[in-house]
């Protein structure tokens, strides 16, 4: 494997027990008090709760690790039957189509047969909230794709963020326990803004890169159709000669990236708790099928050895400038499930589900996931036969000698249920020539609970990510940190996080410290490894990557009695021609009587269809309509929020009067309703220069 350096005594950021900062030892002692020993459920005291047992510092995790298995098994079975994480999900059927063959690198037919369309089922979900939580919290989104290939099911189970909080799977239960509702009070739901989460993070500096991502606008997406997806881990591709190439998988949305403003996100959750699910449902129902490009980063072990980081560390990404993306296909979601429970709820993804030509790396987080996902399905779906549920079953033939068990739906015939045998000519047999083979990798080194020294740099990529953002996005990260830490009761936790921020960027730490009312900057903790300067990566932005389009976006037109139908018609046509959907909003759901006496039916009533659910708005009002709405708080909020959320606003004379009543100013994003072209141009983006006039950011 790459990056073979001397191991630490007990690993990485969190458990280094030498002279460097640690989550065990020094930091635990700093919390004060004597602690009882941490033991297994059998009473065996643990010497190391930070690292799983590995064949060597960069080797695979060992099945004999009874401590890991007990801890993860207990965690896997905490919820019945709801998923412990990713409980709130939205799923859809579709297909994957390959456009460029990877035959040089792999024998996996799904990656070699150009033009072949493979059925898929994709589920996108929040991590922290329960099944009944809202769609729009600040949270990572799971991005899981089940490919029903000719050679068996392949599950690519990732997130909309390319890195993760922790380096070793043994810490996953601790992470999720910290982020979930605090157990003595059962709140907050689906939120990181509380003490237990930030206390854990303050003691786990390896998480700081992920913190930059979750505090960025990536975790408050405008639509599930406008997020990226990442496989997170390095995998291997195996070719017909047994050669191995490392690969990272990426999904890129056809509609481009777009996120919301935090204040907007909060209000959306009140206006429509199912905002993302409804958006996906309506897009598929209308034939505007969500689509993503599928891309790979390919690199050899020799190339990996030259990276200034360890690609097996799941808290690290490979910048596109270092290893460019190669687009090899696309995924289209074109069918909503017939039954939400039977499909979206019962679908079971397991990272261990791969096909010949694909193999695993020694990423220690991935190694633990290979055990955990299968184990948790046994509890959630109640049986080892969950693969027989239609949404989980392969679409290619499958068979073996596994028998019986709870919920067995098959009826195997004959007297043979073992292999090898001489009593049946038709029972399944192994196929050495074409069956799955693992890479014959050589592993050397001493077995132990260790973390490689190459995992020790926790701040360099976090700094690179922050410095890669636009000034607007940096302000949003700083403001998000102030908001989150302002919810933390314990001052020492706030101070510890700001201390970590000083390693990432001193100005960021100062902005957050000022927002928290600190008189001085907290002490910077000792870093386990030097912080390196990395070139900014524009690919890590959102604003810089937004597409100049209205495709997939929504325009709201506010009307009332007496509105000019001709103006409404022109704006609606211009918006739909540009690819947007248009909805008419009126004081009453029945609609309004226009100036020509006709009735225009509304898509929604004003109080139930606020401007937060649109990307841009038009306000077309007669003098009569303006008078009707001037004393209506929902109308005032409609235009005030649109302006505050940096959206384009088209107004006629009546609309202009409503803006004045609401105290809304003017800039390039507020245009005359008669100038439809200027409105469409302004609606394709946010009016970022407006933000400093409408809110105070850190």
> Could you read off the pLDDT of 66-95 as tens digits, one per residue?
999 999 988 888 876 889 999 999 999 999
Instruction: Compare 34 and 172 and report the one with higher pLDDT.
Output: 172
**For residues 537-566, average pLDDT:** 96
> Could you read off the pLDDT of 641-686 as tens digits, one per residue?
999 999 999 999 999 999 999 999 999 999 999 999 999 999 999 9
**Residue 485 parent element (H or E):** helix 471-486
> Could you read off the pLDDT of 314-324 as tens digits, one per residue?
999 999 999 99
Q: Which fold has domain 550-694?
A: Rossmann fold (3.40.50)
On the question of pLDDT at 4 being above 80, the answer is: no
pLDDT of residue 32: 56
Options 159, 160, 353, 392, the catalytic residue: 159
**For residues 348-354, average pLDDT:** 96
Is-catalytic flag, 159? yes
pLDDT of residue 80: 65
pLDDT of residue 20: 37
In the structure encoding, which two tokens stand for residue 307, read together?
């990276």
On the question of pLDDT at 221 being above 90, the answer is: yes
Where do the structural domains in the chain lie, given as residue ranges?
66-388, 456-543, 550-694
Options 51, 86, 93, 392, the catalytic residue: 86
Q: Name which of 76-85, 206-215, 342-351, 574-583 the model is least confident about.
A: 76-85
Kindly give, in sequence order, each residue whose CB lies less than 8 Å from that of residue 380, ignoring residues fewer than 6 positions away.
79, 80, 81, 82, 83, 348
CB atoms within 10 A of CB 306: 10
H helices of 31-129, in order, are 66-76
> Could you tell me if 276 and 260 are in contact, meaning their C-beta atoms sit under 8 angstroms apart?
no
Residue with tokens 């830490």: 485
pLDDT of residue 459: 98
**Residue 297 parent element (H or E):** strand 291-299
- Classify 453 as helix, strand or coil: helix
In 3D, which of 219, 247, 91 has the Cα closest to residue 159? 219
pLDDT of residue 23: 36
In 3D, which of 11, 10, 237, 281 has the Cα closest to residue 103? 237
Domain 456-543 has CATH 1.20.1370.20: yes
pLDDT band at 37 (very low <50, low <70, confident <90, very high): confident
Instruction: Outline where DSSP puts E strands in 523-676.
Output: 554-558, 581-586, 592-593, 599-600, 604-605, 616-619, 648-651, 670-672
pLDDT of residue 433: 86
pTM score, whole prediction = 0.92
> Could you read off the pLDDT of 92-131 as tens digits, one per residue?
999 999 999 999 999 999 999 999 999 999 999 999 999 9
Is-catalytic flag, 645? no
- In degrees, rounded to 5, the angle at the alpha carbon of residue 485 between the alpha carbons of residues 480 and 491 is 160
What architecture (CATH level 2) is domain 66-388? Answer: Beta Barrel (2.40)
Please give the Cα distance from 684 to 686 (Å, whole number): 7
> Could you read off the pLDDT of 415-440 as tens digits, one per residue?
999 999 999 998 898 888 889 999 99
> Could you read off the pLDDT of 260-269 as tens digits, one per residue?
999 999 999 9
**For residues 618-644, average pLDDT:** 96
For residues 275-286, one letter each, b for 16 or more C-beta atoms within 10 angstroms of the residue's C-beta and e for the rest, the string is bbbebbeebbee
Instruction: Compare 16 and 275 and report the one with higher pLDDT.
Output: 275
**For residues 361-368, average pLDDT:** 98
Question: Helix axis angle, 460-468 relative to 491-504, nearest 10°?
Answer: 80
On the question of pLDDT at 161 being above 50, the answer is: yes
**For residues 549-571, average pLDDT:** 97
pLDDT of residue 688: 97
CB atoms within 10 A of CB 434: 9
Mean pLDDT, the chain, whole residue set: 93
């Amino acid at each position: 494997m790459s990056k073979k350096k001397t191991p630490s005594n007990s690993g990485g950021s969190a458990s280094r027990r030498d002279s460097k900062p640690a989550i065990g030892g020094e930091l635990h002692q700093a919390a004060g008090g004597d602690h009882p020993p941490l033991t297994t459920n059998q009473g065996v005291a643990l010497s190391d709760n930070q690292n799983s047992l590995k064949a060597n510092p960069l080797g695979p995790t060992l099945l004999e690790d009874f401590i890991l298995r007990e801890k993860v098994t207990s965690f896997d079975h905490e919820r019945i039957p709801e998923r412990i994480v990713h409980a709130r999900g939205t799923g859809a059927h579709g297909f994957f189509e390959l456009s460029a063959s990877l035959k040089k690198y792999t024998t996996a037919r799904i990656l070699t047969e150009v033009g072949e369309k493979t059925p898929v089922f994709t589920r996108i979900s929040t991590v922290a909230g329960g099944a009944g939580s809202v769609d729009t919290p600040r949270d990572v989104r799971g991005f899981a794709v089940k490919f029903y290939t000719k050679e068996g099911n392949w599950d690519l189970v990732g997130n909309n963020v390319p890195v993760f909080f922790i380096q070793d799977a043994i810490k996953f239960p601790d992470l999720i326990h910290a982020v979930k509702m605090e157990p003595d009070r059962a709140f907050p739901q689906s939120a990181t803004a509380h003490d237990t989460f930030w206390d854990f993070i303050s003691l786990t500096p390896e998480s700081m890169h992920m913190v930059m991502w979750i505090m960025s606008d990536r975790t408050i997406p405008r639509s599930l159709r406008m997020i990226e997806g990442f496989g997170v881990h390095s995998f291997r591709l195996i070719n017909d000669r047994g050669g191995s190439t490392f690969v990272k998988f990426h999904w890129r949305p056809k509609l481009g990236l777009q996120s919301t403003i935090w204040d907007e996100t909060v209000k959306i959750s009140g206006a429509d708790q199912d905002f993302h699910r409804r958006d996906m449902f309506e897009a598929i129902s209308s034939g505007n099928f969500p689509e993503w490009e599928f891309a790979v980063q390919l690199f050899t072990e020799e190339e990996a050895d030259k990276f200034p980081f360890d690609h097996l560390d799941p808290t690290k990404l490979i910048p596109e400038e270092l290893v460019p993306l190669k687009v090899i296909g696309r995924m289209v979601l074109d069918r909503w499930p017939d039954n939400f429970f039977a499909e979206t709820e019962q679908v079971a993804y397991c990272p261990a589900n791969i096909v010949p030509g694909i193999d695993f790396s020694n990423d220690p987080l991935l190694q633990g996931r290979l055990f955990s996902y299968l184990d948790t399905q046994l509890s959630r779906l109640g049986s080892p036969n969950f693969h027989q549920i239609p949404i989980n079953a392969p679409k290619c033939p499958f068979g073996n000698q596994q028998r019986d068990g709870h919920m067995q739906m098959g009826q195997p015939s004959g007297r043979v249920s073992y292999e090898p045998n001489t009593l049946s000519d038709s029972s399944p047999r192994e196929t050495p020539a074409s069956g799955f083979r693992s890479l014959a990798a050589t592993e050397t080194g001493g077995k132990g609970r260790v973390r490689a020294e190459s995992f020790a740099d926790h701040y360099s990529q976090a700094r690179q990510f922050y410095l890669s953002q636009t000034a607007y996005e940096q302000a949003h990260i700083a403001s998000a940190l102030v908001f989150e830490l302002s919810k933390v009761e314990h001052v020492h936790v706030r101070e510890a996080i700001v201390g970590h921020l000083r390693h990432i960027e001193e100005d960021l730490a100062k902005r957050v410290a000022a927002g928290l009312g600190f008189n001085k900057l907290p002490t910077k903790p000792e870093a386990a490894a030097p912080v390196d300067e990395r070139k900014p990566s524009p690919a890590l932005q959102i604003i810089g990557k937004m597409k100049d389009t209205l495709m997939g976006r929504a325009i709201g037109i506010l009307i009332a009695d007496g509105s000019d139908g001709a103006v409404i018609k022109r704006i609606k046509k211009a918006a739909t021609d540009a690819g947007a959907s248009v909805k008419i909003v009126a004081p009453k759901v029945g609609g309004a009587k226009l100036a020509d006496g006709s009735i225009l039916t509304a898509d929604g009533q004003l109080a139930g269809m606020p401007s937060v659910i649109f990307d841009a708005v038009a306000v077309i009002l007669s003098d009569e309509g303006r008078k009707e709405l001037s004393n209506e708080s929902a109308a005032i909020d409609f235009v005030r929020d649109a302006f505050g959320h940096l959206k384009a606003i088209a107004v006629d004379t009546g609309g202009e009067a409503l803006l004045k009543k609401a105290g809304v100013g003017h800039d390039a994003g507020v245009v005359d309703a008669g100038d439809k072209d200027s409105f469409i141009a302004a609606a394709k983006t946010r009016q970022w220069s407006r933000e400093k006039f409408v809110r105070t950011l850190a």
